[in-house]
Amino acid sequence: MNATVQTILEYAQRLVNEKVVGDSDMISIRAELNFMYITKAGVKLCDLTEDDVIKMNIFKVEKEYKYHSEIYKSREDINAICQCYPKWVMPIAKAGVTIPAVLDDMAQIVGPTCKTSADDIVSIVKTLKGRNSCLVKDKGCITSGRTLDEAYTCVLVLDKAAHCFVASSVIGENKIINGIEARLMRFIYKTKYSKKNQENLSAKEEGEIVSEDTSVKEESEV
């Protein structure tokens, strides 16, 4: 089996295991500059097989794959996308509000805030400018990354931050991490932790064999 297809199947299963999927989730990985491997629209990630991962030219796609292709076209820094419907993100997407920096790991991995975009591809691309994730009004969320591992981690952290934000409506407002500290953490995460780690993972997702450098994971732990 193609290594990229295998990676998609593996992460689809992980998303299912973590219970952060709904019924119409789709994940993809960029292949070369103008192609992507993507899960077939309408196939639930829990039922996904090798034959449901298809390769397509990002300039020649049908409507249901446009969310992914348009993001790849506009953002050369993005190599993987998760379009998911995690449980706790849903009420926020419905209300159409922005998730503030409620937790350290959110500030690091997702960013200081996560906005809700209108449900059209132009707005989504615009909302994603300078970011790697957003919510989609009345739908779910879109996360992206240099690797599928990064986009996947983002879904988990986003769902947890969303849960905190939703529950805070009954226990008292969230005390938000101040903007400068949140940006500082994001900066450190992006530069120190992830660069080397992502290079290794990226090579892995493309099927190369690399030695794992674990020492760079430290920042992700706190």
Q: Is 177 in the site for other proteins (CB under 8 A)?
A: yes
User: What Cα–Cα distance (Å) separates residue 206 from each residue in 6, 58, 143, 210?
Assistant: 10, 18, 20, 11
Strands 80-84 and 141-145 come out as antiparallel
Tell me the window of 50-58, 60-68, 75-83, 178-186 that interacts with other proteins (CB under 8 A). 178-186
Nearer to other proteins, 41 or 167 (CB): 167
Q: Is 26 in the site for other proteins (CB under 8 A)?
A: no
Q: How many CA atoms lie within 13 A of 208 on its CB side?
A: 9
b/e map 82-120, b = 16+ CB within 10 Å: bbbbbebbbebbeeeeebbbbbebbbbbbbbbbebbeee
User: Which is closer to other proteins, CB of 142 or CB of 154?
Assistant: 154
Q: Which of 167/203 has CB closer to other proteins?
A: 167
Window of 9-17, 29-37, 144-152, 156-164 that interacts with other proteins by CB under 8 A: 156-164
166: contact with other proteins by CB under 8 A? yes
Instruction: Give me the least distance between CB of 101 and other proteins, in Å please.
Output: 8
Q: Which of 80, 34, 37 is nearest to 59 (CA)?
A: 34
Residue whose CB is less far from other proteins, 122 or 176: 176
Single-letter code of the amino acid located at 8: I
Residue owning tokens 């937790």 = 103
Tokens of 140: 């779910």
Nearer to other proteins, 97 or 118 (CB): 97
DSSP 126-188: HHTTT-SEEEETTS-EEEEESSHHHHHHHHHHHHHHHHHHHHHHHH-PPPPPPHHHHHHHHHH
Q: How far is the CB of 16 from other proteins (least distance, A)?
A: 16
Distance CA 185, CA 111 (A): 9
Residue 33 within binding range of other proteins, rule CB under 8 A: no
| Tokens standing for residue 166 | 């939703």
Window 85-144: residues binding other proteins (CB under 8 A): 87, 90-92, 94-97, 101-105, 109
Q: How far is the CB of 52 from other proteins (least distance, A)?
A: 28
Regarding 16 and contact with other proteins (CB under 8 A), the answer is: no
**Could you say whether residue 185 binds other proteins (CB under 8 A)?**
yes
User: Which residues form the interface with other proteins (CB under 8 A)?
Assistant: 87, 90-92, 94-97, 101-105, 109, 153, 156-157, 160, 163-175, 177, 181, 184-185, 214-215, 217-222
